[in-house]
Amino acid sequence: MKIASIDKDVKGILSSNYYQIPRFQRPYSWDRENISDFWNDTIVDNESDYFIGSMVVFKVNSDTYGIVDGQQRLTTITMLLSALRNSLNTEGFIDLAKGIHHLIERPNIDNKPQYILSTESSFPYFQEYIQKFGKPLIDIVPGDEEKNIEMIFNQVSELIEGAVKSIKSNPTFDDNAKKENIKEQLILIRDRILGLKLIFVELDEEDDAYIIFETLNTRGKDLSVSDLVKNHFTKLLKPKIAGVDTPKIQWDRILTTIEGSSSDISVDGFLHHFWLSKYDYLTIKTLFKEIKKEVKKHNAQSFLNELEEDSVTYREIHETSYRKWSNEENSIKNALDALSLFRVKQQVPFILAVMIDYKNGKLKKKDVDRILTSIEKFHFIFTAITSQRSSGGISQMYASTARRLTNAQNREDKIEILNEFNKKLRDKTPLEWEFDFNFKKIYLTKNYTKDKNLIKYILSRIDSFSNRSATLDYSLMTIEHIVPQSNLRNNLLPEIQVGQLGNLILVPAELNNELGNKSFVQKKELLIKARVFIDKILEESSTWDSSAIGKRTELLSKIAYKKVWKI
């Protein structure tokens, strides 16, 4: 690997060559705070020769370089110069504006206009709305990166305009003095930008760039696992057709699938769970190192294909509305929704393996239904109610079973693995006294709504289990307090007891208003009339007080642990 370095300023860098942001690079990601810091450091507080770090490039051809490190800074500098050019033009300094524009766009060897910095990910927005001298000729709907670029460009434009406005508002200057001071101020900003110093590091070959990119960004910098993995694929998979970068298109589809989700998922999380479902257990810190060992030139394309396919399943697991489920699959969907409600992630590698086998016809619906229901029941008790914390054993159990399931060759072997795992879940289920103790601490009032969704889930599952003759849409039902919350104002019962599960019941929305603050006897009559399921305690009680609430809470706890959520 040949590396040459030299000190250069921004003017020398922009006036001598053209630059491309290569396919392995991240989108532009600086935020408003980054820009404020950069402006203050390089413009406001900068006297001269301010050093802004290194710029690492590799040679594309005789006058063009690809950027390995320095993309964010060079893109920001280009936006600053573009905003400065626009301001000079607006203030009537046409020659100065054109002079700056030569550092944004100039004729190439064929005498064709070419932008100094070209970027693929934000094309054509960056070229048309930022670099172009004049109004854009095409309308572009900006994506996420373009929206960020638009925000930053507006910010740097406002910073420059602020310097102009401060001079225009100075009452001690006449019009000529204002114009001259504006000119001097804009030239000062220009010269400070162009005078910024860098160490310009040049590599001979693109392959060297991937190594340097990876090294630079795994030693204390903030590059994510997904950025490093993308770089690795880009290095191994070159475009086979000119102008059609299939690996990049595939990677972008993975990003769109994961990052477009309404659920709290990330590409890094997907890569980690994908790995755990098929390979040895590891932490996310060592993930890229192992991916790099596993993915070579001969299997890179098949690995990327697998990632793209499984990214859809991964999103469906976390965002069930992303998939169209049949009526027969509602139990699978409900189990996945419940696990999302519990905010648990340990099971994801295993469920990913299960759902992939289901999609590929290696497992049947009844197989998936049974194991996902068991996982839902386990985590309801283990996570949602008793708040158990695993030292890592549960996560490793899920991951190791996922690998076994993935590697099993036939359905019989897979069923045996699922049965073994089901028994493990049963054995690890917390004891009834732990469940009962924590179950009684769950409550809902106007002042405390943290458990509302969990309570609706609990009541709907118990009602569905007990009232099997009815098919109800529980999403249309609301939670009713049997002893009304108005009693809290009168201090008749403590808040936790009024909100306790024993005092709560699911009713149709239209019935909720009708029940209001009626007496228990009146409420009971209306509930029976509306054919709402009445449990034994409600049925046998003629009054409703602290004792009745306690008894019903105990009853619901027993029904929950021994029947509804029993594995």
Binned at pLDDT 50, 70 and 90, residue 37 comes out as confident
Read off the pLDDT of each residue in 249-253 and give the average, rounded to a whole number: 90
pLDDT score recorded for residue 207: 63
Read off the pLDDT of each residue in 384-412 and give the average, rounded to a whole number: 90
pLDDT score recorded for residue 210: 60
Q: Which residues contact 402 (CB under 8 A, 6 or more apart)?
A: 276, 277, 278, 349, 350, 352, 353, 354
Binned at pLDDT 50, 70 and 90, residue 141 comes out as confident
Binned at pLDDT 50, 70 and 90, residue 362 comes out as very high
Both 61 and 199 in a single domain?
A: yes
Binned at pLDDT 50, 70 and 90, residue 555 comes out as very high
Alpha helices, DSSP H, located in 17-93: 32-39, 71-90
Both 332 and 312 in a single domain?
A: no
pLDDT score recorded for residue 510: 84
User: Is 219 inside any structural domain?
Assistant: no
User: Is 331 inside any structural domain?
Assistant: yes
Question: Among 362, 255, 364, 254, which Cα is nearest to 310's?
Answer: 254
In terms of pLDDT, which residue wins out, 220 or 393?
A: 393
User: Is 213 inside any structural domain?
Assistant: no
Question: Helix, strand, or coil here: 297?
Answer: coil
Both 419 and 454 in a single domain?
A: no
User: Is 215 inside any structural domain?
Assistant: no
For the chain, what is the radius of gyration of the CA atoms?
32
The DSSP bridge partners found for residue 107 are 113
Both 81 and 100 in a single domain?
A: yes
Identify whether the C-beta of residue 35 lies closer than 8 Å to the C-beta of residue 160: no
Predicted TM-score (pTM) of the model is 0.67
Which stretch of 103-107, 124-128, 329-333, 472-476 has the lowest confidence by average pLDDT? 472-476
User: Is 516 inside any structural domain?
Assistant: yes
pLDDT digits (tens, 9 = 90+) for 415-437: 999 999 999 999 999 999 999 99
Question: Helix, strand, or coil here: 85?
Answer: helix
Both 183 and 35 in a single domain?
A: yes
φ/ψ bin of 297: left (φ > 0), alpha (ψ from -120 to 50), beta (otherwise)? alpha
Q: Which of 430, 457, 474 is the last residue of a domain?
A: 430
pLDDT score recorded for residue 466: 85
Both 426 and 507 in a single domain?
A: no
Identify whether the C-beta of residue 352 lies closer than 8 Å to the C-beta of residue 372: no
pLDDT score recorded for residue 230: 85
In terms of pLDDT, which residue wins out, 315 or 203?
A: 315
Number of structural domains found in the chain: 4
| pLDDT over 90 at 254, yes or no | yes
User: Is 225 inside any structural domain?
Assistant: no
Both 246 and 374 in a single domain?
A: no
How far apart are alpha carbons 40 and 37 in whole angstroms? 5
Q: Which residues contact 293 (CB under 8 A, 6 or more apart)?
A: none
User: Is 221 inside any structural domain?
Assistant: no
Residue 242 has, within 13 A of its CA and on its CB side, a CA count of: 0
CB 347: neighbour CB atoms within 10 A?
27
Binned at pLDDT 50, 70 and 90, residue 221 comes out as very low
Query: What domain range includes position 376?
Result: 325-430
Both 183 and 305 in a single domain?
A: no
pLDDT score recorded for residue 469: 60
Both 319 and 329 in a single domain?
A: no
Identify whether the C-beta of residue 526 lies closer than 8 Å to the C-beta of residue 518: yes
